[in-house]
Each structure stands twice: as structure tokens, then as C-alpha cells.
Amino acid sequence: MTIAAFRADLGDIPVEDHPRIVQQRSRDHYWYSPVLKAKLDHVTAEVVVSPRTQEEVKTVLAAAYRHKVAVTPRGAGTGNYGQALPLAGGAMLNLMNLDRVIDIKPDRVRAEAGIVLEKLDQQTRPAVGGELRFHPSTYRMASLGGFIAGGSGGVGSIRWGGLRNLGSILSVKIITCEESPREMELTGEDVLKVAHAYGTNGVIVEAEMPLAPACDWVDIMVGFDDFLAACRFSEAITAQDSLLLKEVAPCAAPIGQDYFNRHKPYIRDGQSVVLIMAAPVAVEPVLIHLAYHGGEVLYRSDKASEEELRRLPPIYELAWNHTTLRALKVDPSITYLQTRYPTLKHVEKIVSILGDELPMHIEMTRQDGAVTFAGLPLVRYTSEARLEEIIAIHEDNGCAVFNPHRYTLEEGGMKRTDAAQLAFKRQADPAGMLNPGKMIAWDDPGFDLNSGRAWLFQGLAATAGAA
């Protein structure tokens, strides 16, 4: 048996094969999508392998190559496109034990891939007064490697852009899946080959990330009677380059009242809210803008009681896909979309067409220098057909959709696979053992790399801004 032979080559590297535990570790948050849930519920690996060192990762990958066992890298399993689901069975490669911080400099940090993002900041803050520029809202669970391989941006992207931007990841060390696995250090634009590639072209064991100055961010929640007024305010403060902000997210009523359980008492019926993280120096100017826009302060962490600070989650855990998570916990029929609204007019149009079928949630971001409405609207799901209609309504109105109901790189639409990446996978994973089934262009050589759609990770030439 392949798996038995594979295991035999692992020495004393910990292996788990209890079916229930293995199944649990074969999942991520794919169940946010009813579409993925129906398609992927049965998927499971046969074992979970948990190397403790980079040398052990090499041993695992050599054995996988030798015995043709599929290997799916896994961090905390918080991805929500099913990107960590082992479509071909085989082994889950649990990287959470590789969690050393290697080097901290005033403007950058180098660490192993399994470190939890919050733990990383807990070391860089006292050491050099720095913190990650941005993190997913799963900050307290997600791993560095999982974020790079599976994420795109998050809390802080309002100022620093996303992982797709050159300069957001300084360096990545991967191990290849070959007869004799090699270490490769990727820097410069080569980093973009493995960013958001779902671990299909190398196992990330270390990364070097730039740091931003650490800050005692103030959580602020403000309320508006009118959602579009909330959006106008959000756009205005985001556009003020003088305001050091880490998060601005307008959420239409009734998201706050119905799904933000702990913050509910602060929110009046019918109020739309904006979730804000501001540097102390930015708080006063933000409140001045708020007054001009007719909004009202509902909560400020810098004026909160000890008891409130203990009871309430940080505001970023209401934002990004935590908005979806909180809604799902209350109403399991809810799902979501990922969209991009070029202007406020586009938001207004979509809201006017879809109303409460699509409770609107927007994350203000900077994309390629422009203030952008990145949408993560909730969807009151009825059928896959209607979901497709909602997507079509967006596209017909000039709003891009990055479909979170697809588990392949290309169909998800975040990352464009290009010739350079395919060539790189041939080097790093010549037998196609790494997370098989996630890169269509690998399995289907006839796949059109140049389909005309919108991609968040544009591929190398476009990302570097070439004409």
C-alpha cells in the first residue's frame, strides 16, 4: 500500500491516522459556501503528518514524491475556499509546529511558516516597535504560511495594499517536492509565484515580511441612519492620507443588530455601522469628519470600561470574513460574495437592485493607489442558480466578482495562473503531488491563461505595472 510505504519512510515524524481527527484536519472553512459544502463534504486525507523541523519537511516531501502520495500543506485551516481540502486524499502536511521567529529587524521580520500571526506581532512589538502591515481577521488563529499561500489582505490593507503587491512579502523559502527536495529562496517578483498559490508549487517553510510601526489602535464603531451616508463617510476618511487608519468597514443594517451579538446593545434599530481602527492621532479628525457626515459614535475602545474591554471582541473580529462568520452563526442559510465596486455609485446601484437579499458589507481598501470599495456582501442564499444570477447582476453593472464558491485558483478568480507560474510548478513539483486539483492550468494544458476576466493577483508582468 502506498500510504503504508510512505509512512514507513517518515521515521519518528508524528503521523495521525484516526479517521475522525484526520477528517477534521482535512477541512477548512469551505462550508461558508453552500456550493462548496455540497461538493467537498466527503473529501478527506488518509493521514496527517506533523513535521517539527524543516529537515523533517524534506523527509516528508521526498517520501511523498517516491511513493506518489498527494500532499496538501495546511496551516490553521481557516481558508474559506476549500483550498486546503485534499481532493486526491493522501497526506495533510500540518505546518503549525514550524513556528520559530528567526530574525527581527527594525523594518522586517523573518519567521517560520507555522507561526500564528498574532504571536509574530507579540515578538516584534516589544523588540522593534513593529507589527505586520496587515493581517486577516483570523489574526489570532491563522499561520504566516497559510496567509501567504491562501490569503490576500485584510486589516491594514486600507493603507498598505495586499499580498499581491510587490513589496508586501520580502522573501519566501520553499521546499520542493522532488526526489531530493531542495530549498529555494524566492525574492523580488518570484515571491508572487507562491503567493496565493494554495501551496501547489512548493511548501513554504519561512518568510520575511516588512513591518509597519506598531500602534495602539483605537476601535471605533459609528452609526448612520443611511447606509450610503456611511459609505460616503468611509470613503472620505479613507481618502485622507493624513489619517492613519487600519480598518474601515461599512456594514448595512441589519448586520450590526442581527449578527454582532456583543455589540448589539450599542446599535439602534435600522442603523448601519462603520467599523474603524484608527491610530490615536487620527481619532479626533475622524470624529470631526463623522460630525460633518451626520454619523454618531456608538463605541470607542479608548473610552471603554475595563469590563467592556474584557467582554467585547476586537473590532477586526467583526470585519472581513468575520462578518460572514457571525452572520452564519445566527442564520446558517447565509453565505457571501467577494466583489469590487469601482465607485460609490456602483455600491448604490447594487444595493438598490438587491436590497436585503444582499446585506451589504464593504471593506475600504487601497488597490493600486486608489481608494476602493472591496465588497464582502452577505447573501441570503436560496439556490445556486440565484447565486449565479446575483453574480451576473454584479458583472452586468461593472462590478468584479471574485467567486468564493470555487475551490480552484483560476475559477476563484483571485490569482491568474501565467506561464511563469506553470514553469515554476514544473520545477518545484514536477510530479504534481502538491495539493492536486487546485490549479486547473496544470491539469488541463489547453486551459486559456488569458481569459479576459478581472484578477486580484494579476500575474507578474501586470503586477509590476508594465504597459
Ligand X SMILES: Cc1cc2nc3c(=O)[nH]c(=O)nc-3n(C[C@H](O)[C@H](O)[C@H](O)COP(=O)(O)OP(=O)(O)OC[C@H]3O[C@@H](n4cnc5c(N)ncnc54)[C@H](O)[C@@H]3O)c2cc1C
Residue ranges binding a copy of itself (CB under 8 A)? 106-108, 129, 133, 159-162, 165-168, 170, 187-189, 210, 212-213, 215, 232-233, 236-244, 279-282, 284-285, 288-289, 292-293, 366-371, 461, 464-467
Please say which residue, 190 or 225, places its beta carbon nearer to ligand X.
190
Whether omega for the bond prior to residue 254 falls within 30 degrees of 0, making it cis, is yes
CB of 32 to ligand X, least distance (A): 7
Query: With respect to a copy of itself, which residue has the nearer C-beta, 166 or 454?
Result: 166
Per CB under 6 A, 335 contacts ligand X: no
C-alpha span between 223 and 272 (Å, rounded): 6
Q: Say whether residue 406 binds ligand X (CB under 6 A).
A: no
Q: Does 318 bind ligand X (CB under 6 A)?
A: no
Torsion angle defined by CA atoms of residues 75, 165, 463 and 343, in that order, rounded to the nearest 10 degrees: 110
Residue 101 contacts by C-beta under 8 Å, 6 or more apart in sequence?
A: 109, 110, 111, 112, 115, 120, 123
Min dist CB 259 to ligand X, Å, is 12
Cα dist from 234 to 290, 356, 364, whole Å: 9, 21, 7
Give the contact letters, 47-86, x = binds to ligand X (CB under 6 A), - = no. -------------------------xxxxxxxxx--xx--
Backbone phi, then psi, for 259, in 5-degree steps?
-120, -20
Q: Answer yes or no whether residue 151 interacts with ligand X by CB under 6 A.
A: yes
How many CB atoms sit inside 10 A of residue 256's CB? Answer: 27
In the complex, what is the shortest distance from the CB of residue 57 to ligand X, in angstroms, rounded to a whole number?
9
- Cell triple for 209: 515580511
CB of 39 to a copy of itself, least distance (A): 34
Does residue 412 touch ligand X according to CB under 6 A? no
| 8 Å CB contact between 13 and 59 | yes
Q: Looking at beta carbons only, is 39 or 105 nearer to a copy of itself?
A: 105
Q: What residues between 277 and 316 interact with ligand X by CB under 6 A?
A: none
- Give the separation between CA 26 and CA 73, rounded to whole angstroms: 10
CA atoms of 68 and 9, how far apart (whole Å) = 13
C-alpha cell at 299: 463605541
Say if CB 220 and CB 315 are below 8 A apart. Answer: yes
The CA angle 44-46-47, to the nearest 5 degrees, is 115
In the complex with a copy of itself, the residue whose CB is nearer, 210 or 342, is 210
Residue 170 CB, nearest distance to a copy of itself (Å)?
Answer: 6
Q: Which does 279 bind (CB under 5 to 8 A by kind): a copy of itself, ligand X, none?
A: a copy of itself
Report angle CA 30, 318, 33 to the nearest 5 degrees: 20
* DSSP-assigned beta bridge partners for residue 3: none
- Binding of ligand X at residue 248 (CB under 6 A)? no
Residue carrying C-alpha cell 470555487:
406
Instruction: State how beta strands 130-132 and 183-187 pair.
Output: unpaired
Q: Which does 150 bind (CB under 5 to 8 A by kind): ligand X, a copy of itself, none?
A: ligand X
Among 34, 90, 130, 146, contact with ligand X (rule: CB under 6 A) = 146
- The SS3 assignment for 302 reads helix
404 in contact with ligand X (CB under 6 A):
no
Stretch 12-31 residues interacting with ligand X (CB under 6 A): 28-29
Residues 214-243 that bind ligand X (CB under 6 A): none
From a copy of itself, ligand X, none, interface partner of 73 (C-beta below 5 to 8 A by class): ligand X
Q: How far is the CB of 315 from ligand X (least distance, A)?
A: 13
Residue 145 interaction partner, one of a copy of itself, ligand X, none, beta carbon < 5-8 Å per kind:
ligand X
Q: Rule CB under 6 A: say whether 147 interacts with ligand X.
A: yes
Q: What angle do CA 241, 376, 396 make, to 5 degrees?
A: 100
Cβ atoms within 10 Å, residue 225: 14
Range 113-142, binding ligand X (CB under 6 A): 113, 136-138, 142
Stretch near ligand X under the rule CB under 6 A, chosen from 143-151, 285-293, 338-346, 409-417:
143-151
Residue 275 touching ligand X (CB under 6 A)? no
Assess 198 for contact with ligand X (CB under 6 A).
Answer: yes
Q: Are 76 and 92 within 8 A, CB to CB?
A: no
